[in-house]
Protein backbone atom coordinates (compact mmCIF):
# COMPACT_ATOMS: atom_id res chain seq x y z
CA UNK A 1 0.00 0.00 0.00
CA UNK A 2 1.19 3.51 -0.72
CA UNK A 3 2.32 5.46 2.22
CA UNK A 4 0.10 8.31 3.32
CA UNK A 5 1.44 11.75 2.89
CA UNK A 6 2.30 13.55 6.04
CA UNK A 7 0.46 16.82 6.65
CA UNK A 8 3.21 18.05 8.89
CA UNK A 9 5.37 21.05 7.97
CA UNK A 10 8.50 20.76 5.88
CA UNK A 11 11.46 18.89 7.14
CA UNK A 12 14.14 20.55 9.19
CA UNK A 13 16.71 20.32 6.40
CA UNK A 14 14.41 21.74 3.66
CA UNK A 15 14.79 25.50 2.81
CA UNK A 16 12.05 27.94 3.78
CA UNK A 17 10.53 30.31 1.18
CA UNK A 18 10.46 34.00 2.10
CA UNK A 19 6.93 34.41 0.82
CA UNK A 20 5.59 31.47 2.83
CA UNK A 21 7.32 32.08 6.16
CA UNK A 22 7.32 35.14 8.39
CA UNK A 23 11.01 35.77 7.62
CA UNK A 24 11.39 38.59 4.99
CA UNK A 25 14.84 37.43 3.94
CA UNK A 26 16.69 39.53 6.51
CA UNK A 27 18.99 36.63 7.35
CA UNK A 28 19.86 36.05 3.71
CA UNK A 29 22.79 37.70 1.99
CA UNK A 30 21.75 41.09 0.68
CA UNK A 31 24.90 41.77 -1.37
CA UNK A 32 24.61 39.71 -4.58
CA UNK A 33 27.39 41.44 -6.53
CA UNK A 34 30.10 38.88 -5.51
CA UNK A 35 27.97 35.75 -5.98
CA UNK A 36 28.47 33.32 -8.82
CA UNK A 37 25.77 32.39 -11.28
CA UNK A 38 25.23 29.01 -9.60
CA UNK A 39 24.80 30.66 -6.22
CA UNK A 40 22.33 33.16 -7.69
CA UNK A 41 20.23 30.33 -9.13
CA UNK A 42 20.28 28.56 -5.80
CA UNK A 43 19.26 31.75 -4.01
CA UNK A 44 16.38 32.28 -6.46
CA UNK A 45 15.12 28.77 -5.88
CA UNK A 46 15.26 29.28 -2.11
CA UNK A 47 13.62 32.70 -1.70
CA UNK A 48 11.41 32.83 -4.76
CA UNK A 49 11.50 34.93 -7.91
CA UNK A 50 9.75 38.01 -6.47
CA UNK A 51 12.02 38.31 -3.42
CA UNK A 52 15.08 37.55 -5.54
CA UNK A 53 14.27 40.47 -7.89
CA UNK A 54 13.83 42.79 -4.92
CA UNK A 55 17.22 41.73 -3.53
CA UNK A 56 18.94 42.25 -6.87
CA UNK A 57 17.27 45.67 -7.35
CA UNK A 58 18.36 46.73 -3.84
CA UNK A 59 21.97 45.81 -4.49
CA UNK A 60 22.03 47.67 -7.84
CA UNK A 61 20.56 50.77 -6.16
CA UNK A 62 23.22 50.54 -3.48
CA UNK A 63 25.95 50.38 -6.14
CA UNK A 64 24.57 53.44 -7.95
CA UNK A 65 24.42 55.40 -4.70
CA UNK A 66 28.16 54.89 -4.19
CA UNK A 67 28.97 56.79 -7.43
CA UNK A 68 29.63 60.54 -7.18
CA UNK A 69 26.75 62.68 -8.45
CA UNK A 70 27.12 64.12 -11.95
CA UNK A 71 26.77 67.89 -12.14
CA UNK A 72 24.20 69.26 -14.53
CA UNK A 73 25.76 71.36 -17.28
CA UNK A 74 23.01 73.98 -17.16
CA UNK A 75 23.22 74.37 -13.38
CA UNK A 76 27.03 74.53 -13.33
CA UNK A 77 27.30 77.45 -15.76
CA UNK A 78 24.38 78.83 -17.72
CA UNK A 79 26.67 80.76 -20.05
CA UNK A 80 28.57 77.72 -21.34
CA UNK A 81 27.82 76.47 -24.89
CA UNK A 82 25.00 73.99 -25.26
CA UNK A 83 26.20 70.42 -25.83
CA UNK A 84 24.44 68.92 -28.83
CA UNK A 85 23.92 65.20 -29.11
CA UNK A 86 25.72 63.46 -31.98
CA UNK A 87 22.68 61.23 -32.57
CA UNK A 88 20.40 64.14 -33.46
CA UNK A 89 20.72 65.46 -36.98
CA UNK A 90 21.46 69.16 -37.08
CA UNK A 91 19.11 71.07 -39.43
CA UNK A 92 20.58 72.60 -42.56
CA UNK A 93 19.31 76.09 -41.78
CA UNK A 94 19.46 76.96 -38.12
CA UNK A 95 19.73 80.22 -36.25
CA UNK A 96 23.07 80.20 -34.46
CA UNK A 97 22.78 83.61 -32.79
CA UNK A 98 19.33 85.18 -32.25
CA UNK A 99 19.15 88.59 -33.95
CA UNK A 100 16.46 91.06 -33.01
CA UNK A 101 14.75 92.55 -36.06
CA UNK A 102 15.09 96.32 -36.32
CA UNK A 103 11.80 98.06 -36.98
CA UNK A 104 12.07 101.39 -38.75
CA UNK A 105 10.03 104.17 -37.18
CA UNK A 106 8.91 107.17 -39.19
CA UNK A 107 7.74 109.97 -36.88
CA UNK A 108 5.56 111.46 -39.61
CA UNK A 109 3.25 108.42 -39.68
CA UNK A 110 3.63 107.19 -36.10
CA UNK A 111 0.88 107.53 -33.51
CA UNK A 112 3.45 108.14 -30.78
CA UNK A 113 4.26 111.53 -32.27
CA UNK A 114 0.72 112.77 -31.70
CA UNK A 115 -1.73 114.46 -34.04
CA UNK A 116 -0.38 117.08 -36.44
CA UNK A 117 -1.90 120.51 -35.87
CA UNK A 118 -0.59 123.24 -38.21
CA UNK A 119 -1.43 126.07 -35.80
CA UNK A 120 0.49 124.49 -32.92
CA UNK A 121 3.38 123.53 -35.21
CA UNK A 122 3.79 127.06 -36.61
CA UNK A 123 3.60 128.58 -33.15
CA UNK A 124 6.16 126.16 -31.71
CA UNK A 125 8.70 126.53 -34.54
CA UNK A 126 8.19 130.24 -35.14
CA UNK A 127 11.86 130.93 -34.40
CA UNK A 128 12.78 129.21 -37.69
CA UNK A 129 11.40 132.17 -39.65
CA UNK A 130 14.17 134.42 -38.27
CA UNK A 131 16.80 131.82 -39.17
CA UNK A 132 15.43 131.52 -42.72
CA UNK A 133 15.47 135.32 -43.12
CA UNK A 134 19.14 135.47 -42.05
CA UNK A 135 20.04 132.66 -44.45
CA UNK A 136 18.25 134.46 -47.27
CA UNK A 137 20.22 137.66 -46.61
CA UNK A 138 23.45 135.66 -46.56
CA UNK A 139 22.64 134.05 -49.92
CA UNK A 140 21.92 137.46 -51.43
CA UNK A 141 25.31 138.76 -50.27
CA UNK A 142 27.05 135.72 -51.74
CA UNK A 143 25.13 136.24 -54.98
CA UNK A 144 26.48 139.81 -55.29
CA UNK A 145 30.04 138.54 -54.96
CA UNK A 146 29.67 135.87 -57.66
CA UNK A 147 28.34 137.62 -60.73
CA UNK A 148 28.73 134.69 -63.10
CA UNK A 149 29.78 131.08 -63.27
CA UNK A 150 28.55 127.85 -61.78
CA UNK A 151 28.50 129.25 -58.23
CA UNK A 152 26.22 132.06 -59.40
CA UNK A 153 23.71 129.58 -60.86
CA UNK A 154 23.70 127.49 -57.68
CA UNK A 155 23.09 130.55 -55.50
CA UNK A 156 20.37 131.77 -57.85
CA UNK A 157 18.55 128.44 -57.68
CA UNK A 158 18.91 128.38 -53.88
CA UNK A 159 17.49 131.88 -53.57
CA UNK A 160 14.59 131.02 -55.86
CA UNK A 161 13.87 127.92 -53.80
CA UNK A 162 13.83 129.95 -50.59
CA UNK A 163 11.41 132.47 -52.07
CA UNK A 164 9.10 129.69 -53.25
CA UNK A 165 9.10 128.13 -49.78
CA UNK A 166 8.32 131.51 -48.25
CA UNK A 167 5.42 132.08 -50.63
CA UNK A 168 4.05 128.59 -49.96
CA UNK A 169 4.24 129.21 -46.21
CA UNK A 170 2.38 132.50 -46.56
CA UNK A 171 -0.31 130.83 -48.69
CA UNK A 172 -0.71 128.05 -46.13
CA UNK A 173 -0.98 130.63 -43.38
CA UNK A 174 -3.73 132.51 -45.26
CA UNK A 175 -5.70 129.28 -45.71
CA UNK A 176 -5.40 128.53 -42.01
CA UNK A 177 -6.69 131.97 -41.14
CA UNK A 178 -9.61 131.51 -43.55
CA UNK A 179 -10.51 128.13 -42.01
CA UNK A 180 -10.28 129.61 -38.52
CA UNK A 181 -12.58 132.49 -39.49
CA UNK A 182 -15.15 130.06 -40.95
CA UNK A 183 -15.01 127.94 -37.82
CA UNK A 184 -15.61 130.95 -35.60
CA UNK A 185 -18.51 132.02 -37.80
CA UNK A 186 -20.15 128.59 -37.58
CA UNK A 187 -19.68 128.58 -33.82
CA UNK A 188 -21.33 131.99 -33.49
CA UNK A 189 -24.28 130.82 -35.62
CA UNK A 190 -24.67 127.70 -33.51
CA UNK A 191 -24.77 129.80 -30.34
CA UNK A 192 -27.54 131.90 -31.86
CA UNK A 193 -29.62 128.78 -32.44
CA UNK A 194 -28.98 128.22 -36.14
CA UNK A 195 -28.36 124.79 -37.53
CA UNK A 196 -24.62 124.22 -38.14
CA UNK A 197 -23.63 124.09 -41.79
CA UNK A 198 -20.33 122.62 -42.97
CA UNK A 199 -18.89 123.69 -46.30
CA UNK A 200 -18.07 121.16 -48.96
CA UNK A 201 -14.55 120.81 -50.34
CA UNK A 202 -15.60 122.45 -53.61
CA UNK A 203 -17.00 125.44 -51.71
CA UNK A 204 -13.82 125.69 -49.66
CA UNK A 205 -11.74 125.73 -52.88
CA UNK A 206 -13.94 128.52 -54.26
CA UNK A 207 -13.36 130.60 -51.15
CA UNK A 208 -9.61 130.03 -51.41
CA UNK A 209 -9.65 131.12 -55.07
CA UNK A 210 -11.67 134.23 -54.16
CA UNK A 211 -9.13 135.19 -51.51
CA UNK A 212 -6.30 134.58 -53.96
CA UNK A 213 -8.03 136.77 -56.54
CA UNK A 214 -8.34 139.59 -54.01
CA UNK A 215 -4.67 139.25 -53.06
CA UNK A 216 -3.51 139.35 -56.69
CA UNK A 217 -5.69 142.36 -57.39
CA UNK A 218 -4.32 144.13 -54.33
CA UNK A 219 -0.70 143.44 -55.41
CA UNK A 220 -1.41 144.37 -59.09
CA UNK A 221 -0.33 140.95 -60.34
CA UNK A 222 -3.73 139.85 -61.58
CA UNK A 223 -3.06 140.51 -65.28
CA UNK A 224 0.18 138.53 -65.36
CA UNK A 225 -1.43 135.67 -63.46
CA UNK A 226 -4.43 135.55 -65.83
CA UNK A 227 -2.17 135.62 -68.90
CA UNK A 228 -0.09 132.70 -67.58
CA UNK A 229 -3.26 130.81 -66.72
CA UNK A 230 -4.65 131.47 -70.20
CA UNK A 231 -1.50 130.20 -71.92
CA UNK A 232 -1.46 127.10 -69.72
CA UNK A 233 -5.08 126.27 -70.53
CA UNK A 234 -4.44 126.85 -74.24
CA UNK A 235 -1.56 124.38 -74.14
CA UNK A 236 -3.78 121.79 -72.48
CA UNK A 237 -6.52 122.30 -75.10
CA UNK A 238 -4.02 121.99 -77.94
CA UNK A 239 -3.18 118.43 -76.88
CA UNK A 240 -6.75 117.27 -77.43
CA UNK A 241 -7.08 118.86 -80.89
CA UNK A 242 -6.84 116.46 -83.86
CA UNK A 243 -3.60 116.57 -85.84
CA UNK A 244 -3.63 118.19 -89.30
CA UNK A 245 -2.63 115.48 -91.78
CA UNK A 246 -2.44 117.78 -94.80
Q: How many Cβ atoms from other residues are within 10 Å of residue 210's Cβ?
A: 11
Mean pLDDT in residue range 204-212: 83
pLDDT given at position 245: 54
- Chain segment 85-100, per-residue pLDDT in tens: 788 777 777 767 777 8
Mean pLDDT in residue range 223-246: 81
Cβ atoms 162, 129 nearer than 8 A: no
pLDDT given at position 29: 46
How far apart, in whole angstroms, are the C-alpha atoms of residue 27 and residue 88? Answer: 49
The DSSP code sequence of 75-144 is HH-TTSPPPPPTTSPPPSS--SS--PPPPP--TTS-GGG----HHHHHHHTTHHHHHHHHHHHHHHHHHH
pLDDT given at position 21: 41
pLDDT given at position 23: 43
Lowest mean pLDDT among 87-91, 172-176, 192-196: 87-91
pLDDT at 134 over 90: yes
Lowest mean pLDDT among 22-36, 43-57, 151-165: 22-36
15-29, 69-83, 125-139, 140-154 — which one is most confidently predicted on average?
125-139
Q: Which long-range contacts (CB under 8 A, 24 or more apart) does 29-33 make?
A: 30/55, 30/58, 30/59, 31/59, 31/62, 32/56, 32/59, 33/59, 33/63
56-60, 75-79, 97-101, 230-234 — which one is most confidently predicted on average?
230-234
Write the CB contacts of 90 (distance below 8 Å, at least 6 apart in sequence): 84
Residue 29, phi then psi, degrees to nearest 5: -75, 125
Amino acid sequence: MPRARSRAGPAAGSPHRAGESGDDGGGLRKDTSNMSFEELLELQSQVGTKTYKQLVAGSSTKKQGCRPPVQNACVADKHRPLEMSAKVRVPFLRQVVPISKKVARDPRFDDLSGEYKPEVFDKTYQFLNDIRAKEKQLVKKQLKKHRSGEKHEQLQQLLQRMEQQEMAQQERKRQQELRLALKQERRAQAQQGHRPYFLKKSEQRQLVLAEKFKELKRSKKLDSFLSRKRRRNAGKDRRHLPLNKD
